[in-house]
Amino acid sequence: MTIIKNSVRSIAQILIPTDCVLCSVPVASTERRLQADERAGTTTAAWLLESARKAGVCSSCLDCLLAEALDELIIPATPPRVAPRCRGRRPAQPIEGGTARCRGCSRPLISEYEWCCTCRSASFSFAGACALFEYRGRARKLLGFYKFENYKPLAVLFAALLCIAYVARFGPAPIVPVPAQRRSRAHRGWDQVGVLAGHLSNSYGVPVITALRRSPGDSSQKTLGRTDRFSRASSHYQLAGQARRGGCRGLPTAVLVDDVLTTGATASACAELLRSAGVEAVQVLALTVR
């Protein structure tokens, strides 16, 4: 009987994490945090707190994570929802203002204009890139748990954060997940960006087009230098699904979604394919930039 009880408890802890993955303190209930906010005269979006709780991130760590975002994330009081009639019908309207960011890699600019020194010499097939966090600190730790320790509950929080940026910047344009390398997907048994796209679609109504797939025999780009990444990236991806059959022709905007933006080589190769399939402009939305 005890064995069964313990097994049920372990399964419950995997499904609904009780301790924060970052600081190990018990994840307080959303109600308790909301009551504390009310006493302090502040407000927190209950839906985002709930997403963090489901992902195993306590409310204090969520606050710290949000403070590390590259742009201030304006959190709506209720979960964003893309209305079915809007999906993909009109072009995305990127918002102006906020921190000036490089159009290629999304890093904050200091004294440069539009492009950072590194990206100025490159040519990208996408119109602009937006990353939520730099690849360090809490964002890097969380992404490490998600990708390398297969801690899937974090997808709930990542999708919520991506959706806030998506709605603010790219409106109803369809997203296209960057497919995982075949070998890593076979090894892990899942596609981390594909899972995020699934959450964005199911929880927030974000339109998703599976327009890309990895080429047979593709390899990892991790160990390659900048020049090699750019020259080889295009051979790693192919058009798939409706994009192959002309279903993307005339689409004003598509938003490539990835977990890490590095040199922009992958995003540029994918954007080039999408443009060859008839998409007019490609934007990039990534969780982190390294």
Residues that bind Zn ion (CB under 5 A): 20, 22-23, 58, 61, 102, 104-105, 116, 119
What is the closest distance, in whole angstroms, from the C-beta atom of residue 64 to Zn ion in the complex? 8
Between 6 and 18, name the residue whose CB sits nearer to Zn ion.
18
CB of 34 to Zn ion, least distance (A): 17
Which residue is associated with the tokens 């990708």?
A: 147
Cα 244 from chain centre: 24
Q: Which H helix or E strand runs over 259? A: strand 253-261
Shortest distance (Å) from residue 68 CB to Zn ion: 14
* CA atoms of 180 and 182, how far apart (whole Å): 6
Cβ 6 to Zn ion shortest distance, Å: 25
Contacts of 58 (CB under 8 A, 6+ apart): 20, 22, 23, 25, 26, 27, 28, 52
Smallest gap from residue 18 Cβ to Zn ion (A): 12
Nearer to Zn ion, 3 or 113 (CB): 113
Question: Shortest Cβ distance from residue 280 to Zn ion (Å)?
Answer: 23
- Is 259:142 a contact under the CB 8 Å cutoff? no
Q: What is the spatial distance between Cα 279 and Cα 236, in angstroms, rounded to a whole number?
A: 20
Distances (CA, A) of 89 to 48, 85, 94, 240, 254: 28, 8, 15, 21, 11
Compute the distance between CA of residue 113 and CA of residue 269 in angstroms, rounded to an integer: 24
Closest to Zn ion by CB, 131 or 248? 131
CB 143, CB 287: distance < 8 Å: yes
Shortest distance in whole angstroms from residue 122 CB to Zn ion: 8
**20 or 193, CB closer to Zn ion?**
20
Report the distance separating Cα 140 and Cα 287, nearest Å: 10
Task: Write the DSSP symbol of residue 94.
Answer: P
Measured from the CB atom, the residue of 31 and 63 that comes closer to Zn ion is 63
Give me 204's structure tokens. 């927030």
* Sheet strands (E) in 170-244: 175-177, 212-214, 237-239
